[in-house]
Amino acid sequence: MADAACNEGSRRRIVIVVLLVLLLPLQTSCQQSTTKKLYVVKEEAHDSIIYSYKHGFSGFAAMLTESQAQDIAGSINGAAELTPTTRGVDLTTPACFTASISIHYAASYLSIKPSSVHRLHTTHSQDFLGLDYTKPTGLLHDAKYGDGVIIGIIDTGIWPESASFSDDGLGPVPSKWKGTCQTGQEFSSNQCNRKIIGARWYDKHLTPKDLEGEYRSARDANSHGTHVASTAAGALVPNVSFHGLAAGYARGAAPHARLAVYKACWGQGDCSEAAVMQAIDDAIHDGVDVLSLSLGLPSSEYYTSLHAVNNGIAVVFAAGNDGPAPRTVTNASPWVISVASATMDRAFPTVITLSNSTSNFVGQSLFYDTDDKNYNWYEVYQSSCLFGTPETSNVTLAAGKIVLCNSPSSVSLISPTILPVWNILLAVNALKEAGAKGIIFAAYAFDILDAVESCGSMPCVLVDFEVAQQIKQSADENTALLVKVTAAQTWIGGEVLAPKISAFSSRGPSPLYPEFLKPDIAAPGSNILAAVKDSYKFKSGTSMACPHVSGVVALLKALHPDWSPAIIKSALVTTASNEKYGLPILADGLPQKIADPFDYGGGFINPNRLVDPGLAYDVDPKDYIALDCDSANSSCESAYKNLNLPSIAIPNLKQPTTVLRTVTNVGQADAVYKAVVQSPPGVQILVEPSILQFSLSKKKQSFKVTFSMTHKFQGGYLFGSLAWCDGGAHYVRIPIAVRPVHSSSSSFHCKHPTLWSPNTTIKHQKSKEAALESIIYSYKHAFSGFAAMLTESQAQTIAELPEVRSIKPSRVHPLHTTHSQDFLGLDYTKPTGLLHDAKYGDGIIIGIIDSGIWPESASFSDHGLSPIPSKWKGQCQAGEAFRSNQCNRKIIGARWYDKHLSAEDLKGEYRSARDAHGHGTHVASTAAGALVPNISFHGLAPGYARGIAPHARLAVYKACWGLGASCHDAGIIKAFDDAIHDGVDVLSLSIGKSGDEFFSSFHAVKNGITVIFAAGNEGPAPRTVTNALPWVITVASATIDRVFPTVITLANGSSSIVPKDNNWYEIHHSSCLISNGEKINASLASGKIVFCYSPLSVSITSPFGYVSLAVKAAKEAGAKGIIIATYGLDILDYFEKCGAMPCIFVDFDAVGQINSSGDENTTPLVKIAPARTWVGGEVLAPKISTFSSRGPSPLLPQFLKPDVAAPGSNILAAVKDSYKFQSGTSMACPHVSGVAALLKALHPDWSPAIIKSALVTTASNDRYGLPILANGLPQKIADPFDYGGGFIDPNKATDPGLAYDVDPKDYDLVVNCESANSSCESIFQNLNLPSIAIPNLTMPTTVLRTVTNVGQDDAIYKAVVQCPPGVRISVEPSVLQFKQGKKKQSFKVTFSMTHKVQGSYLFGSLAWCDGAAHYVRIPIAIRPVVSENYADL
């Protein structure tokens, strides 16, 4: 019937009708009555029914035309109307669709809507959970392995012949079972047994095409359902492995539980909601105890699951696989258990050996042993392997080689999940066809090894970028690099840092229900070995985590048959773990972070603890029914807030808010519990009463939790917990998530020449003398050398000369791209402080190596300045549109370097120091711009513009050219050389390139010049920081406490949702992914506000990569404005091209309000007010900018980088004759350059190392008592790889107390060091830097440091240590005493592991405190490494 309906030309599709009568048991007579009524309306409609729901609720699914559906909607309830479309479902398109349903709790109420399609989320784990099969104690034993409990699996079916479904040793089928074993294609009734006690399948909604390659039965063609079922309740099966890997017994979490199979998912895992609803309905009838559903769809919920819960069935869902982006969690209904995925303590180390190295590198793979065990050597071919992009590698060069796939900058824009799954699959197929002998993939997170399963016996190894960089550096220019790869091994145990939340695991908050904290719990979901047809294979996903919890729930149900689903959920959440071996659980992402409740809810599941939780948060099913209310209703808000869940979420804390909870004593009758509160930063929590006393007659106790803000600010979510402790075994902890909102706004927004490049003018020069005539720059002040335009042979000739130390091609470096001064505490009007005491930087010369300068800008006025400092030896080089008299007492010198450029490079440029790009002018005015009144950007950010050191002088070196502001090595090195000669005090370089370092900066530092570099704009991915040399100051970017809120008013009266046009406009929804080939439909967008909303796509791309394309497309389509939903709001200058058209960033918290503003029959209207300027402490700042590059350095991990953070987001400064916003570490760099100039003016005897030490050791890690956060996917508390020592505090830096000075000779040792040398390692770690980084802590390691007293002569300092988790630090001596003749003191810092664990970087600090004003703190980063035969990936 379904097939016929789908093939008719009458535009039929599946429609779900739900009849509800106050959730009372539904009588047959009621159903008959309803059916008669339907016949009256349309008999042929009734004939099209494919599924009938009667056990949990009353309703049906039918294949109907739109008119038939409308007739039914109007006939049963005149007020009900058919929804013509749902998101992603178009009722005007002739096709068969699948389902989504909204439940209403009013008598005789009908809902009717099209069915939508939901997708599946894609064994040592039981031992990792403590479920020891052989132990005579514990949950598994006490629950009789789950015997008697029935787990319903709604999935793709089952493969009954698998050994995992043997019923050996099981008792009879439980008497409560009322189900059936439905036969079908290759599935007979006798294939059910005492393990698989029932099977049903649902295909009435499918077409013949849907069924291609499928079994019309409960048999599993996909294998997903088989894997899930065996994970939940598979029998004990010996001698299982994947080609020898992970060998041992396979078993489910509840191996004696019974399985009821409901095949509602078909093909590649498409699950029709019509079928899923029928499966839930049947499961209620059949008598299952637990329902496990490893499926879901973003922005959709299975409300029918409530009926199962009301019937005492615990329902467990997968949380989704769209992480690590926030607000991606699915299946967030409060009555279900939503499960996140985590790793476990099993790895598959794979050794990579290089032909030219004595050390091995280690990755992970599923490369299994071949019969001959003859591991051959193969040449390495390097490639980006981005086969899904236009940057396709030349696969013909890969034949017969091992391919190193290494593209860190591209991966930084791609989810760590997407790369291993999607790009690896494309690369494997392409490279296998090309005849490659193996692949080495570099990526950030490796939770999904099954992505390389298709490699078979060809080695496909996943490595981190540190390993990839070392392999790359091992290659020699003249000889091919050879490698061999040995088969993977299995490593199990506590040395593997686990669990970690999987990168792919979806994160909270729920975009639909932010009032309910989700996910609830985490369980093993990465690289799970379980049954697939007749074999066993690895799969990863929250789909794999879900059945682990389902199995544990079955064990609990067996042990506590009287426990409600709510109590079971409470026990899971309140006993979950937040740490392992004393180390906090981490969450993989970009970057990795310490996990919070939006990653794992209560924590990682702890089965043996949850058998006795002490207290439980139970829920009366009637309270769930009360949730069926209008979310805008105040009573609804109260119902949501006070639902008795084992968690608390307050998405908008505007004023003191009280939440009610009740706990039930399920432990010892007489017990006293005390409240233990961990308040979110900046939030005060009061619990009344704070002591609960229970007795035999008093099983329940209620309490109030009141939340208030200690400081008014606008922030992201903050996390804490509330626990009830009885002083014994019970610590009943629930997670808390609070989002402070101050104000009525709930969010704001806020060619390549080389040193030997062929050139026609020198092509025929043959002698060495002729080659030397091609010199374009000569370096003589810092070191002896030159740059020349040479052929390759000429370069080779010069390289062979004995007096030549090195020769290399000149590379091209990109530029990294005013209230900030006040935010830093540099008050221009104050008669005290650094700015005043340093005379505003007068007498200090700041050299700017950049794209030039616009001399006419008011920021470069020399009004009020004294004569040019006498030490200045530079010049003002004239050129195109730049006269020598355009230098003055502010711009005291200018040089430019174009000898290396072609005519093409100079198009649109000035052959002078004049800035055609704007970048150099912006940087220079930020560092040392004069005081300029009445500055704003079209009225925004009005006030005075000024530089950090407004009286400092500027020396301009134009080494960057063209619209892209490309900066060549040759020009930059010449600029360094000239700056040393000219007498600058500070050099500011907002430039850099991943993989390159400016070693020429060393000569400037040796000459007493402080050199400041931008850290790069490739964040938030780790290992992207540039300019990581230890003698320079590397600057990260952060936000400031200024935003530009823009009010969007909705036509339904809901206003002030977020941050020139007075009219109302319709909203046109679009993904706006222009770079992917998607267009903004001009016929639909013209005259409207385009709402760019694509959360899953945004989660795998830079928040800013698509903005300019989307704006351009919207303007071309005739749109009246554009609203872009994104995760990062750091760069508003992307909207500069919008002009008068409103272009607005909103976060995803605002999306739900905008989406819900209209109803099903009307399009929402919006009006956008002009932006305002908002400055002050109510803005949560600083935060590390999303784009800011993160450590560790891939080239020099021994030196902790970046060093400090400074304002770099939305900085208003000079650009030609105007003032514009720009963002980037390029903008952060000149802030620090200006502060360095002030410090140099105040302390002219301080060396560059002391200035750097003062900045790092006095930097701030918090503001208003709140930790500094780092924007990313997801947001996290900042660590040293985000901001080094912290956010700069200029006034504190004037008097740091102690300083870590460095003798320039020590830098010489670093420059001349070969990193493979053991003595080199000692030189690196003992370099006297104001930070400590140990990238490979394999054994107790001692580091030496020396501090110089730059404060009061007589002083005593004591060591204050914050140890990284799992690392022990001892300081000798721990007390330092200074006096007039004793300015320097040395000490030793020894690091050792408290627990042997192979881990990621861990962070801590060492501070010297004098008990008064000085707290001299340096950051520490440690990476424990247990063995060379395993790497944590």
The sign of the CA dihedral 304, 309, 313, 318 is: positive
Q: How many helices and strands, by DSSP H and E, does the chain display? A: 35, 82
548 is catalytic: no
Instruction: Please pick, among 711, 749, 813, 919, the residue that the annotation labels catalytic.
Output: 919
Please state whether beta strands 1415-1424 and 1332-1337 pair in parallel, antiparallel, or not at all (unpaired): parallel
726 is catalytic: no
746 is catalytic: no
CA dist 1026 and 1022 (Å) reads 11
* Mean pLDDT, 10 residues at a time, the chain of 1433 residues: 38 56 31 36 63 75 75 54 32 31 36 65 80 90 96 97 96 96 96 97 91 95 96 96 92 97 91 89 96 82 87 96 87 96 91 80 82 72 70 70 76 44 75 88 76 84 81 75 89 84 92 93 96 95 97 98 98 95 84 91 96 97 82 74 97 93 96 96 94 95 95 81 95 96 45 27 42 63 66 74 71 60 89 94 97 97 96 96 96 94 88 95 97 91 93 97 83 93 97 72 94 92 90 96 85 47 77 68 86 61 63 87 78 79 80 63 78 82 92 92 96 95 95 98 98 98 87 86 97 97 92 71 94 93 97 95 92 96 95 79 95 95 71 41
Please state whether beta strands 290-293 and 245-250 pair in parallel, antiparallel, or not at all (unpaired): unpaired
Contact (CB, 8 A) for 670 and 694: yes
CA dist 501 and 503 (Å) reads 6
CA dist 1063 and 1121 (Å) reads 11
- With CA atoms as reference, report the closest residue to 348 among 448, 478, 208: 448
369 is catalytic: no
Dmax (CA) of the chain: 107
pLDDT of residue 150: 98
Q: What amino acid is encoded at 828 in this protein?
A: Y
pLDDT of residue 756: 24
Please give the angle made by the CA atoms of 908, 911 and 917, to the nearest 5 degrees.
45
850 is catalytic: yes
Helix (H, G, I), strand (E, B) or coil at 1084: helix
H or E element, residue 799: helix 792-799
Instruction: Please pick, among 121, 224, 749, 1243, the residue that the annotation labels catalytic.
Output: 224
Contact (CB, 8 A) for 1341 and 1333: no
CA dist 1398 and 1415 (Å) reads 32
What tokens were used for 384?
């980006």
CA dist 992 and 981 (Å) reads 23
Instruction: Please pick, among 502, 540, 1157, 1226, the residue that the annotation labels catalytic.
Output: 1226
Contact (CB, 8 A) for 1294 and 1258: no
Torsion, Cα 1121 1126 1129 1135, to 10 degrees, reads -30
Contact (CB, 8 A) for 1248 and 961: no
Instruction: Please pick, among 115, 543, 746, 1001, the residue that the annotation labels catalytic.
Output: 543
pLDDT of residue 1106: 66
Contact (CB, 8 A) for 1111 and 1122: yes
CA dist 840 and 969 (Å) reads 33
What tokens were used for 304?
């029918």
Residue 714 has what DSSP assignment?
B
Instruction: Please pick, among 850, 985, 1130, 1147, the residue that the annotation labels catalytic.
Output: 850
pLDDT of residue 18: 57
| 1238 phi/psi in degrees, rounded to 5 | -65, -45
836 is catalytic: no
CA dist 1051 and 1053 (Å) reads 5
Please give the angle made by the CA atoms of 153, 262 and 184, to the nearest 5 degrees.
140
Instruction: Please pick, among 55, 58, 116, 155, the residue that the annotation labels catalytic.
Output: 155
